[in-house]
Amino acid sequence: MSIKKIYLLTVLTLAFFSCQDHDSDVKIAQEDIFKKTNIYPQPPEQWMGSSNPYYTAGYIGDVMPYYENGKFHLFFLHDAKTKPAGEGFHDIHSLETTDFKDYTYQGRQVPYGSSSEPDFGVGTGSLIKVGNTYYYYYTGHNEIASFVSNNPRESVLLAKSTDMKNWTKVKDFKITAPAGYYDYDFRDPHVLYNAEDGKYWMLVSTQNSARRAVVLKFTTSNLESGNWNVESPVYTTNSSENYLMMECPDLFKMGNYWYLVFSENWSSNTGTRYRIATSSNGPWTTPAVDRLDGSYLYAAKTVSDNTDRYLIGWTARKVPENNTGGKDWAGNLVAHKLVQNTDGTLSVKQIPSAQSVFTQNAALSVDKISGNANQNGNSFNLSANSQVTFGKLQKANQINFILNASSGKSGLILAHDTDAGSGVKIAFEPESNRIAAYVMTSGSEDLMNSFSLSAVSGTSYNVTVSISNDVCVVYINDKIAFSNRVYNIVNKKWSIFSSSESSFTNINIKNSN
């Protein structure tokens, strides 16, 4: 849970609106507000009506998924576009889905507190059910000077419910950083029952006295007691990693292996990462490729329906919202399916039901050929420095092809304005063993995002490009997901290109209904 650029407004005034209770929150109609094409949803506009500017459209921040009885409950931090001075922020909202293609918005679940309370800003947490009670542990964040003069900036708080809709904050529950740990950064509680230990575990992201990032462990035998005992960290960053924080930790077992998933946003290669062990206490092994997507998927956590496990995070928006803007916190929800390989490493693939959204075959119309390209139906052989430009894309598109390329750069260009030389180039670079996204502006190319191709053997790539509005995810060989934010795709042409000889076989485009 990263909190940035918020207090520039909130410190200007402490005049804040009274928080709305949950009964008024649920006045919204519970119809399906997302069309099937929006497989990468974000919160709706005016979720509390049009009278308060705070209730404008927003973005999805850290997702806290929970599964029960055939339904995925996707709680998330709501990042409103409009944040009036003095108002709290990042209250917890939720979506529900059974298949990751149709979503229903469920409104606000846990509101932020007042400027004098520890949860003036709400941060990431997790949900667990014991008996008939749901326990929602979450982060309280308040750095207003009058508050932090007598309180830690961050703490772990609790809300309870019997129906997962109406939540009551437990006012006398608070966990703060124990001695030897940093109370300024103490967040993102992840709670699970560890059958191997016979206790409930709570993992918290913080720093030790040496200011090294740690995932600290607390345990209890009885959630209702509210008593948690601090134990040794599950993981401490080493000098070569040197992470400032290991945010949004997630711990789960799949087959014979335990996995620790976390996100870090301060290295030169940011993103959602994982470690592997044969015990929930480690020791932890770092796989050769330890990220689960590129740098634009962040704060991803996992959820299982007892058959499959899914990775769910957010793909960053840009500010200003155009292709040359800078990456910023929160955006759209993006979900992948996790697959365990025989050596214990994890691969990422598209969720089949999400792929089924695209049902309408679209014609592949060639608009322009630059250089030397031989066409055979929907297949193209490109010579060096060649490009084929096609017609305009729709709001939701799926592009499939097989790319064979052993050198140079080959791939596709989206949001393509051939006259201005602008767009976003997604390039396969086998010699550099990576896929990369570049922002093109007037002949220059600036690297936006990249990810290793090590999971794919050889130089033949079975590619699925899934696009909904301005979110674009490239899936490769059912092994790799590469998420990006690409503005102005809709009604813009797109191209394939190659700087050396390559082939694009069986290009197929599908749109949604």
C-alpha 210/C-alpha 194 separation (Å) is: 29
Domain match, 381 and 342 both = no
State pLDDT tens for residues 136-152: 999 999 999 999 999 99
Measure the CA dihedral 280/282/285/289, to 10°. 40
Determine, yes or no, domain membership for 29.
no
Domain boundary among 353, 388, 403: 353
Domain match, 119 and 233 both = yes
C-alpha 230/C-alpha 216 separation (Å) is: 8
The confidence score (pLDDT) of residue 85 equals: 79
Domain match, 267 and 312 both = yes
- Residue ranges of the chain with pLDDT lower than 70? 1-37, 46-56
The confidence score (pLDDT) of residue 5 equals: 39
C-alpha 297/C-alpha 232 separation (Å) is: 29
Domain boundary among 353, 382, 401: 353
Number of C-beta neighbours around residue 114 at 10 A: 14
Domain match, 325 and 402 both = no
Q: Which amino acid is at 187?
A: R
Helix residue ranges, H only, 239-337 = none
Look up the CATH number of the domain holding residue 428. 2.60.120.560
Domain match, 347 and 366 both = no
The confidence score (pLDDT) of residue 53 equals: 60
C-alpha 479/C-alpha 461 separation (Å) is: 10
Domain boundary among 337, 353, 369: 353
Domain match, 257 and 389 both = no
Determine, yes or no, domain membership for 46.
no
Domain match, 260 and 368 both = no
Determine, yes or no, domain membership for 397.
yes
Helix, strand or coil, per DSSP, at residue 321: coil
pTM, two decimals, is 0.93
Per-residue CA distances from 498 to 370, 373, 398, 399 (Å):
11, 10, 21, 17
C-alpha 216/C-alpha 195 separation (Å) is: 19
Chain mean position to CA 365: 34
Domain match, 112 and 172 both = yes
Domain match, 237 and 266 both = yes
C-alpha 296/C-alpha 300 separation (Å) is: 11
The confidence score (pLDDT) of residue 46 equals: 67
What is the residue range of 72's domain? 7-23+54-353
Determine, yes or no, domain membership for 486.
yes
State pLDDT tens for residues 63-117: 999 999 999 999 999 998 887 778 899 999 999 999 999 999 998 999 999 999 9
The confidence score (pLDDT) of residue 297 equals: 98
Domain match, 347 and 373 both = no
Determine, yes or no, domain membership for 404.
yes
Determine, yes or no, domain membership for 49.
no
Domain match, 250 and 378 both = no
Determine, yes or no, domain membership for 198.
yes
Number of structural domains the chain divides into: 2
C-alpha 423/C-alpha 109 separation (Å) is: 39
Per-residue CA distances from 60 to 16, 94, 102 (Å):
23, 10, 16
**Sign of the four-CA dihedral 203, 230, 253, 342:** positive
Determine, yes or no, domain membership for 65.
yes
Per-residue CA distances from 288 to 292, 295, 452 (Å):
12, 17, 10
Number of C-beta neighbours around residue 195 at 10 A: 9
Measure the CA dihedral 97/103/104/109, to 10°. 70
